[in-house]
Structures are given as C-alpha cells and as structure tokens.
Structure 1
Amino acid sequence: MSSTDEHAPPPTPTFGERVTRILGAVSGDPIARAEIDMARVLEELKALGAEPIEDLTPDEARRQPTPADAVSSLMAKYGIAESCGDIRTRDLSYPGAERPLAARIYYPPHAGGTLPIVAYYPGGGWVLADLDDYDASARAIAARAGAVVVSFETRKAPEHKFPAAHDDAVAAYRWTLEQAETLGGAPELVALAGESAGGNLAINVAIAARDREMLPPVHLALIYPLAGVDMNTPSFRINEFARPVNAAMIGWYLGHALLGVDQKEDPRLDLVGRADLSGLPPTTILTAEIDPLRSEGLELAGRLRSSGVAVNAIDFEGVAHGFFGMGDLVRHARSAQEIVARDLVASFAPAERGARAGRAI
C-alpha cells in the first residue's frame, strides 16, 4: 500500500513526532536516531504497555507485548495487509535433544519439485519468544528466497539452562537433514538462519556440523547475532538505554540462561573471543545501529573473514534490534530481507557458489 493511501502511515514525521525526536536527541535517547518508520513501531510497543523486561520475571516478560504485536497493531490502524499472506504453513514437532518440541514449516507460493530448505532459529535470548513472535521473519525468507523454511523452538531458560537450547538446535538440524526429502527438499541444499540468540544458535550448529562430520549447511544468515559476552563494547555503551533491547536486558537474558558466570567463557557464547570459526560456509551478517549487539556482530564478521570464511556484512543505520521481520512497515527491513534472500539463492545454486564466495571475501 502506498503512502498516499487513506490508511497508510504519513510519509513524513508529524509535528508531534518531530518534537519527540528533538527532545529525545537532547536527552540522549537512542531512539532519536531511529528512522521514522522504526520509531513508530517502537512508540507503538510502548503504547501497548510494554515494560522494561529487566524488571520482570521470565513469566511476566513472556506475557509482555512484543515488537510483533506493535507491528500488527500499526498495520491494523493503517489498513495494511500482510505481504506474505500466501505462504502455506504447517505446525508439527521435531525430536529435540531431550523431548519433542514445536516447529513450523513455511512453503513458498507455487512450491513444487525439490526446493532448498532454511532451518531458522528465532530470537528471544533463550528465555522469551515463540514461533508466532518471529513468524514474519520466516514468512519473508520463504517468500523471497523461494525456499522451504522450518522454524524451530528450543527449550527455554531459566527452566532449561545453557546449553539446552544449543543441544536442541543441533538436534533440529540433524532432523532437517534426515527429513529433507519429506519436507520437499534435499539435504545438500540446507542453509541455516537465525536472529539474535537464534543467530548464535545457527552459527553454533554450523560449527557442530563441521566438528561432528555432519553434512554442512550451504550458507549462514546471521541477523544481529549474539556473538560475545563483553558488555563494554562501543555499541553497548551508546545503546545502553535503547529499545526494544538494551544493555540491562542482555544481562537479564544471560543471567537467566546461564548456570554461572564461568559459562561465559564457553566458546559457544564467546564466539568472537574463543570459537574456532574456520571451515564454515559463506555467511551473511546483518547488524543494526540501535542495538547493543552491533559491535560484536561487526567483530564476528571480521573474525570469520580472518578465518577464511566468505562474509557479506551489512550494517543498517536508523533501525533497532528486531527490525528484520518488520518489512511491511520498515523500509530497511525489506532491504535486509532482500539481501538475505539474494545470498541464500546464490548459495543454493551450485554454479553461483564460487562467484558468490569471491564477491563476499
């Protein structure tokens, strides 16, 4: 729907929005750096009653309005229809490391024949979120990449501490390889993608596939991944009070997910400091300006390159952590989805893989 439609959001900031942004800039509010479409989502989330998660228990936090709720609310107000509504889905379960867990399959329109598969891991800091909260991201990847996407839930902390989610993520990948033909794909055309803590899971699954001699994924798409445990990076400092994710929230996630501070030394968490990143597939990394995790995402891209991995790293200004699934409202989200889809498609085409790797190095 164009910006001239009756219910579309105004193309430029209203007077009230301009005043809010000026006051935010004076006070040092990171959201004053957000583009107007991103800022509207964050203000809608606030209007829905979202409270600082770091002040809540996990159960309370799980009942909070989410960024996905804010997007849905704004789309309803503006009369905007979902752009990927023609994606077919099917819910099922997969055998996690210890018990069956929920998964959702997304089929692109007019799916037929053998299709590539993307195993996708949602975010939520290993504590929050479910398949619905990241439904828009999985739909966008399926639609734009023309791939079957399987979104996996993993066990959540604090009920299930680290490395429970990581063990489930590996089990999900193994299941994907085993069931590839049943899913309509092929095991040699499986990629991995994830957002935030899910990005951490995705790269760790690729590392596990390398070390356990499983069939490797053809590509990694890491969207603002949690890649380190240093909370004194430049992006942590400048985005200390950002929304929807800030420095205190990252500490809250780690505090609930880990058995003790010594686990921060585990290479699965300290990817940029302790992990062996060699021998991984071509990787796309997206980072966001208004995100405490920005610095470590950029550092991860550098560490991968120095380990001989082909990397396409794109940093988006004016958007916050969690923007990727907001393509119906946020223009940079649409660009991000196109980048991920383009890189996935290139990795799925054997003749293009060499050229893709050469361009990304």
Structure 2
Amino acid sequence: MTLGDTLKGMVGLDPTGHADPDMKAVLDALKSLNPKPIEKCTVAEARNQPTPTDAVKQLMTQPAFSARPSLEFEAVRSEDRMIAGAAGAIPARVYTPQGDGPFPVILYFHGGGWVLADLDTYDATPRAMAAQSHAIVVSAHYRQAPEHRLPAAHDDAFSAWHWVVANAASLGGDPGKLAVMGESAGANLAINVSIRARDTGMHRPVHQALIYPVASNNIVSISYEENRNARPLNKPMMLWFMQNVINDESDLTSPLLDVVSANLTRLPPTVVITAGIDPLRSDGEKLVQKLHGAGVRVEHRNYRGATHEFFGMAAVVEAARDAQTFVSLAQRQAFGAVPL
C-alpha cells in the first residue's frame, strides 16, 4: 500500500479518538457547547462561536478539575492599554510577575487564524509565561481579516515590536532581554517579527517560541490529511481562514505565510511546540528542519495526544503543563537566568 492509499483511508477517521484523556475531556466539553463548524459560518457568526477556552472554563466548574492544585498564576498582575500599531492604536495587555525588575520582556501574539479571537480568548498563555519565565509579557492584538487582509496583521505585529523595544524600560523591563512568542497564526507573526527585525537592522529578539505555527502553504501534508477532521482545528477551517486573509491566490506563496520558503538564517534560538492531532503539525516539523538547515539553534517537542490549542490549557491538560515548563525553561536560559 502506498502512502497515498494510506492517507485516502484516513479521510473519514476522527483522529481525536487518540487524544489523551484530559484532552478528550476538553473536546467533549467543547462539543457540549454546540459550536457551529467555523467553515460554515459567516465571519460574524464565527466570532461568536464557543471556543476551547470556554470548554476549559466549563471543566473548571467540575470537581475533578477544580480540585487540582492551583497553578499560582494569580500572582501575575495585568493591565490593559493601547499601543502603537501600523495604522493606529491597537489593544494590548501587559502581564507583570511578582518580584523586583527589571524583567525580561516577551511580546506575545494570540491565535485565531488572523480572523478570530482576542486578548481575553488567549489570556491563559501570556499569564502562565509571565509567571513561569519570570518575565513581563505584552500580549498585542492586531487588525484582523477579512476587514484587514495580508499584510495588516504582520505590519501591526512589527509595530508592536517597535513599541516594546522603545518602552521596555518604562514597563520595568530589561531592553537587552526581549523575546517573541505566539500561538498558531500568532506564531507566524512572531517569526515574521524576527525576520523583519533582522532584515531592517532593528533590535532583534534573543529568543522565539513558536507554538503550533502556521508556516507553510502545503495543505496536503501528512498532518493536514491525518487531521482533516480533527477538533478544534481541521483542514476545512484552515482553508476558511486562508481565504479570509489573502488578497488573491498569489499571497499563498508569500513568505509571510509560507515561512519555510523565507530566509531563516541569523534568527534567534527557537523553541517549536507541535501537537499530534493538528493539521499544522507538519508545518512545525518542516519549519524545524528549515531552521536547523539555516544554522539556527532550535528545540522541538511534539505532544502526540494533544490537539491544536492545547498549550494554554494547563489548568486541565497535563501536556500543556509540560509544554509550558519546557518553553519557559528555554526562555529563562535565553535570558541568562538560572532555571527554576
């Protein structure tokens, strides 16, 4: 049997049957909220659908999960503010850990396919990183498609980097210890910030953490076919996101989206996290190969029983706790701190 025959046989399967038990609990909770398939929604409808974050909150009301030990992220304080984007002010949330600064500073971008989600949907990850990496985390929003198509979000992301570089000290941060991080579409924005900072001769990040990044235009990869019916992200959803963000088909070959085709030399030390039950897994794996080939120091960890979006679910998913610990260790080492 050829690989093609194998993939054809997988088309009708539900890969979430291989999820870890706690991951499966999140998926079941999400299903109980009756979300409409995103690819069948208008953009307005899609922005109002239940999210994996809502599923986690539902689980947290159940004794089996609410009785778990606290992650002690409550000690992180946050402040909402507006910062300079490429075409006007954009919302941001600044997370500051306990203790005395100056702290390292991490610029974080949330996911949502450049179309959905906001700072509230992705509050858990930057809050956790602030606590575990002992860093100030600036979670920056960006203009979203289809109202603002490529490269609006990327331009806002780089403007946010400008803002962090200029304002790190006033935030209580160390301007010499600045990093970038993102999830999914946000990871795509993060690595593009690093690339653009290098190309423009601007202050460069000392580290980048890329969580299940959008990094390729290959929609027939092994993971896209294995996980075409996955939850909470599947192949039809990714096609829906892409159609909303591109201006025309030529954008699909832009290195902003097809990052694996970009010049990846002289980028900062990198951590890539992938999930087994995720159409984007092959994107992350290919990016790791390309970064290695470009001489970039890169660490990669894949979580076979986890799905897309798992990283911020540390309150209920054990794989997320491990992944967050792995990333924060790499960040602290890049900042020159003694690991916790």
Could you say which TM-score interval applies, normalised by the shorter chain? over 0.9
**What is the CA–CA distance in structure 2 between the aligned matches of 1:351 and 1:288, rounded to whole Å?**
28
**What is the CA–CA distance in structure 1 between the aligned matches of 2:284 and 2:36, rounded to whole Å?**
26
**What is the CA–CA distance in structure 2 between the aligned matches of 1:343 and 1:158, rounded to whole Å?**
35
> Once superposed, which parts of structure 1, at least 4 consecutive aligned residues long, lie more than 3 Å away?
none
* Residue 108 (structure 1) shift: 1.1
User: Which runs of 5 or more residues in structure 1 are unaligned?
Assistant: 1-24, 353-361
- Cα distance per residue 1:80-102 (max 9 Å; x no partner): 57631221000001010001010
Aligned to 2:303, the other structure's residue is in SS state strand
* Residue 232 (structure 1) shift: 0.3
Counterpart of 2:7?
Answer: none
Aligned partner of 2:138: which letter? V
* Residue 51 (structure 1) shift: 1.5
Task: Please give the root-mean-square deviation of Cα atoms over the aligned residues, in Å.
Answer: 1.4
**What is the CA–CA distance in structure 2 between the aligned matches of 1:222 and 1:239, rounded to whole Å?**
20
* Residue 113 (structure 1) shift: 2.2
**What is the CA–CA distance in structure 2 between the aligned matches of 1:151 and 1:238, rounded to whole Å?**
32
User: 1:339 aligned to 2:307?
Assistant: no
**What is the CA–CA distance in structure 2 between the aligned matches of 1:76 and 1:105, rounded to whole Å?**
27
Q: Is the 8 A contact 2:209 2:270 kept in 1?
A: yes
User: 1:176 aligned to 2:164?
Assistant: yes
**What is the CA–CA distance in structure 2 between the aligned matches of 1:257 and 1:161, rounded to whole Å?**
5
**What is the CA–CA distance in structure 1 between the aligned matches of 2:317 and 2:189, rounded to whole Å?**
26
**What is the CA–CA distance in structure 1 between the aligned matches of 2:143 and 2:189, rounded to whole Å?**
12
Q: Percent identity?
A: 46
* Residue 105 (structure 1) shift: 0.5
Tell me the TM-score normalized by structure 2.
0.93
Mapping of residues 108-123 of structure 1, within 5 Å: 108-110=97-99, 112-123=100-111
Counterpart of 1:132?
Answer: 120
Aligned partner of 1:171: which letter? S
Mapping of residues 212-251 of structure 1, within 5 Å: 212-251=200-239
Counterpart of 1:267?
Answer: 255
Q: Is the 8 A contact 2:185 2:214 kept in 1?
A: yes
- Cα distance per residue 1:60-82 (max 9 Å; x no partner): 01101110110011001233576
Counterpart of 2:290?
Answer: 303
Q: Is the 8 A contact 2:83 2:89 kept in 1?
A: yes
Aligned to 2:60, the other structure's residue is in SS state helix
**What is the CA–CA distance in structure 2 between the aligned matches of 1:109 and 1:331, rounded to whole Å?**
25
Aligned partner of 1:301: which letter? V
Q: Is the 8 A contact 1:228 1:270 kept in 2?
A: yes
User: 1:53 aligned to 2:42?
Assistant: no
Counterpart of 2:82?
Answer: 93
**What is the CA–CA distance in structure 1 between the aligned matches of 2:229 and 2:190, rounded to whole Å?**
27
User: Which runs of 5 or more residues in structure 2 are unaligned?
Assistant: 1-9
Q: 1:289 aligns with which of 258, 269, 276?
A: 276
**What is the CA–CA distance in structure 2 between the aligned matches of 1:46 and 1:250, rounded to whole Å?**
19
User: 1:167 aligned to 2:152?
Assistant: no
* Residue 339 (structure 1) shift: 0.6
Aligned to 1:85, the other structure's residue is in SS state helix
Aligned to 2:272, the other structure's residue is in SS state strand
- Evaluate the alpha carbon distance shift between residue 48 and residue 248 of structure 1 in structure 2; reply closer, same or farther with a 3 A threshold: same
Aligned partner of 2:172: which letter? G
Counterpart of 2:6?
Answer: none
Aligned partner of 1:325: which letter? G
Q: Is the 8 A contact 1:117 1:190 kept in 2?
A: yes
Counterpart of 1:104?
Answer: 93
User: 1:142 aligned to 2:130?
Assistant: yes
Q: 1:44 aligns with which of 29, 37, 46?
A: 29
- Evaluate the alpha carbon distance shift between residue 166 and residue 316 of structure 1 in structure 2; reply closer, same or farther with a 3 A threshold: same
Q: How many residues align?
A: 325
Aligned partner of 2:119: which letter? L
**What is the CA–CA distance in structure 1 between the aligned matches of 2:207 and 2:101, rounded to whole Å?**
21
Aligned partner of 1:266: which letter? S
Aligned partner of 1:74: which letter? L
Aligned partner of 1:142: which letter? A
Tell me which moved more, 259-268 or 232-241.
Answer: 259-268
**What is the CA–CA distance in structure 2 between the aligned matches of 1:85 and 1:52, rounded to whole Å?**
34
Q: Is the 8 A contact 1:188 1:215 kept in 2?
A: no
**What is the CA–CA distance in structure 1 between the aligned matches of 2:237 and 2:287, rounded to whole Å?**
21
- Evaluate the alpha carbon distance shift between residue 45 and residue 351 of structure 1 in structure 2; reply closer, same or farther with a 3 A threshold: closer
Tell me the TM-score normalized by structure 1.
0.88
Q: Is the 8 A contact 2:107 2:179 kept in 1?
A: yes
**What is the CA–CA distance in structure 2 between the aligned matches of 1:187 and 1:204, rounded to whole Å?**
20
* Residue 285 (structure 1) shift: 0.2
